[in-house]
Structure 1
């Protein structure tokens, strides 16, 4: 029987918080490949999710703002996704969790390719609406929806214990604010320390002009936000543990590939910033883990992106990822199995087509080009992992050329430029 595939996509989770999730750490990270250099295609929820589902970078899918659903559908992107292709390959499919912002304007919408559809329509309000296979109902809260979606996923898995292969997504709303952890975890991280090296960076003269006069963030407020994220992630950790239990109990764990990522990271006062969307490691970097049949546990510095999920999943299903449309991402399947990443990409682009910047990662360096203001930043992350001192005297002409090529290309041509 062919292998199953499960994507777990959290919301606004920083890389640094992964270690706080004990079950996920023991049962996914230690049993799979942990990527220290995983990145969002664009560190903003909606555009990132569009990139995950289609393996298109934002400059190719054209969904620049967080109200992503309408332009995504208007351009026909929902007609060719990981779901539609896996469905055509004979997989049963199910989506359980947050989808894209803007979907509430079409409350009965069910995206093509999904056999089961359990998505949140309203966030951050009491008794939000939920779409269950095209029927609208309500749950008590946004956090209750995460548990509701996880229960439906577990039911989906149990029903497929002796049937054909399946492809599913579990996308909880946590740890997106405002913080509402369960009573069980509400005090797990009370007064947790929060003092990252880049917090309220004192010398901002190396940063773009719009950043230099930012006021400092309130440390206590940032600490409380961090505390809330960690506590909410304990609830996610519980749900992941229960999903893994069902996979094991039904004999499916050994033939299921599990991808764990977030849509983007988050800045909590680093460089005086609060939010995501910016080209710094805390926001652009994401947790990224893959566990699967025959995969030896290891940690790697290979540069990977959300756009790699779809081609890898199609490859697992025995499909040619580029059939019908060339994908921007590349399949990780062979190096995941062999452990040899020597032929993998050497450089990777991350971008924000709304704020008009591009980030190029290559080797130990991170080059940022701000197109609207004609400014740039260059960091050596080996010597300066917290991006405190841009290399202002560097010649960046070659960095700029490479970034420009990557943000103007797609598919096979783009992947060639990464080598």
Structure 2
């Protein structure tokens, strides 16, 4: 992206963040991190392992015994962890940068405002760590629409070892290994989670000095093919029937939910098969966690390491008759998050209920390593991991831009108790999650004072709004929107130049 456009986007984001009161919370939190901790990180940088699964719901960790034993029991489990966009590509862009979609410019899987081509890969947690002397390795699923550049041998900056899917699958797939494409077939040894785990383990065992490894398997994304050894597990899994399943009374829901057909027996059986296979596919991930932590232990890194386990987003299993993600419901936006850092946490499991998000991961890694991460919107989780945070945010932004699914563009705010969403259609949703955890009763129009407060909070966070969402956001946002339109021509010229640059790399 050209410097002028990047500067404009960053200026817009900074103006509104400075204008909004939550920045004071960020400033206080940052002040809590003593200079001595940063000096210790610089002198003795910890190795860092980030594990990002694909479409894993927050309520599935019970089925991963190794994660329970080696991460949950000695670590901190974040019970209120969310993705700022319940879609793979924008979420992964936020994980890599610590920035909201309105900062990264990645709202969708591909096309305009989405995918690999919309992502500025010059400033990420990988580049920050590489500049500080870390050896960095990526293993697994990157960003959607990366396939074409993968075939041309393009490796994003900041990565010393690069093993990425050409297209994420369980069998019959390609991996680009430092720019060279390697094909894998249908044999048991080709199972992608195991192959990626081997590459990651080799990287850990073969690296001297501090390292950063990002392990991103395809599991448990549909079709959720399990490893051959796991094909028969979870046969006795109870049928999924929460109160919101196949919700009959959707008269208070937006039109895109009201229009959904009932879940007939055929679709229900397909869903149950997917659920079983998702749990089955996670067993190979569970074994991979054991392998990678053993590698950290065998190389003398585990005592000082920071290990983070999370997912890019969740998934609905028929709640409100929806079978995908992208909606602002808990099943889509809530994700598992566990942090193990023995040198910080000490002994024994701990649960944290602060509002945290995927935008906090890169700042956490940067703080642990003692490096700067420009342009991040998130906050380091280290004060929470250490149990010393005196203040924290009280609201999170969720963003979505209409794509191939019929979910309208929206911005939503999640607080400790409420979820409030505002759609481009003018529709709204408001749920009291303490009284109504399954989001069955839309309170829009019944609590005007509460709705007004949440709307004010949302407008402060959702700046600039996703393209297509035009709430009454004030003159400054309007002027900045005009400036953004004026920058489209510059962006187009940059896309042409970037394409030429990548052709030269290939």
TM over 0.5: yes
Query: CA offset at residue 165 of structure 1?
Result: 0.6
Following superposition of structure 1 onto structure 2, how do residues 271-350 of structure 1 map, counting pairs within 5 Å? 271-292=320-341, 293-296=343-346, 297-321=349-373, 325-337=374-386, 339-350=387-398
Give the alignment partner of residue 433 of structure 2, picking from 369, 381, 389: 381
Between the aligned partners of 1:251 and 1:200, the Cα distance in structure 2 is 50
Between the aligned partners of 1:44 and 1:206, the Cα distance in structure 2 is 25
Corresponding residue number in structure 2 for 1:200: 246
Question: Is the 1:22–1:237 contact (alpha carbons within 8 Å) kept by the matching residues of 2?
Answer: yes
Give the alignment partner of residue 88 of structure 1, picking from 113, 123, 131: 131
Between the aligned partners of 1:68 and 1:82, the Cα distance in structure 2 is 25
Corresponding residue number in structure 1 for 2:205: 158
Aligned residue pairs total 403
Corresponding residue number in structure 1 for 2:273: 224
**Bigger Rg over Cα:** 2
Give the alignment partner of residue 137 of structure 1, picking from 154, 171, 182: 182
Between the aligned partners of 1:75 and 1:124, the Cα distance in structure 2 is 23
Between the aligned partners of 1:70 and 1:144, the Cα distance in structure 2 is 33
Q: Deviations over 1:325-348 (max 9, x none)?
A: 3311111112212x1344111111
Between the aligned partners of 1:140 and 1:37, the Cα distance in structure 2 is 39
Give secondary structure in 2 for the equivalent of 1:294: helix
Question: Is the 1:41–1:349 contact (alpha carbons within 8 Å) kept by the matching residues of 2?
Answer: yes
Asked whether 1:11 is paired with 2:54, we answer yes
Q: Deviations over 1:343-375 (max 9, x none)?
A: 1111111111334112211121111111x2111
Give the alignment partner of residue 403 of structure 1, picking from 428, 439, 458: 458
Query: CA offset at residue 104 of structure 1?
Result: 0.9
Corresponding residue number in structure 2 for 1:367: 420
Q: Deviations over 1:360-407 (max 9, x none)?
A: 11121111111x211111111111111111223011122112111101
The CA RMSD measured in Å over matched residues stands at 2.0
Query: CA offset at residue 140 of structure 1?
Result: 1.9
Question: Is the 2:139–2:214 contact (alpha carbons within 8 Å) kept by the matching residues of 1?
Answer: yes
Asked whether 1:254 is paired with 2:303, we answer yes
Following superposition of structure 1 onto structure 2, how do residues 173-188 of structure 1 map, counting pairs within 5 Å? 173-188=218-233
Between the aligned partners of 1:32 and 1:126, the Cα distance in structure 2 is 33
Q: 1:109 to 1:141 in 2, by over 3 A?
A: farther
Corresponding residue number in structure 2 for 1:64: 107
Between the aligned partners of 1:300 and 1:40, the Cα distance in structure 2 is 17
Give secondary structure in 2 for the equivalent of 1:408: coil
Give secondary structure in 1 for the equivalent of 2:228: coil
Give secondary structure in 2 for the equivalent of 1:184: helix
Between the aligned partners of 2:435 and 2:442, the Cα distance in structure 1 is 11
Give the alignment partner of residue 270 of structure 1, picking from 307, 319, 323: 319
Between the aligned partners of 2:345 and 2:156, the Cα distance in structure 1 is 32
Corresponding residue number in structure 2 for 1:415: none
Asked whether 1:22 is paired with 2:65, we answer yes
Q: More strand per residue: 1 or 2?
A: 1
Asked whether 1:98 is paired with 2:137, we answer no
Between the aligned partners of 1:71 and 1:114, the Cα distance in structure 2 is 22
Q: 1:174 to 1:401 in 2, by over 3 A?
A: same
Q: Deviations over 1:261-310 (max 9, x none)?
A: 10110011001001111100001111111111221431111111111111
Name stretches of at least 5 consecutive residues in structure 1 with no aligned partner. Answer: 411-419
Corresponding residue number in structure 1 for 2:95: 52
Corresponding residue number in structure 1 for 2:283: 234
Give secondary structure in 2 for the equivalent of 1:275: coil
Question: Is the 1:191–1:227 contact (alpha carbons within 8 Å) kept by the matching residues of 2?
Answer: no
Between the aligned partners of 1:185 and 1:72, the Cα distance in structure 2 is 32
* TM-score, normalisation: structure 1: 0.92
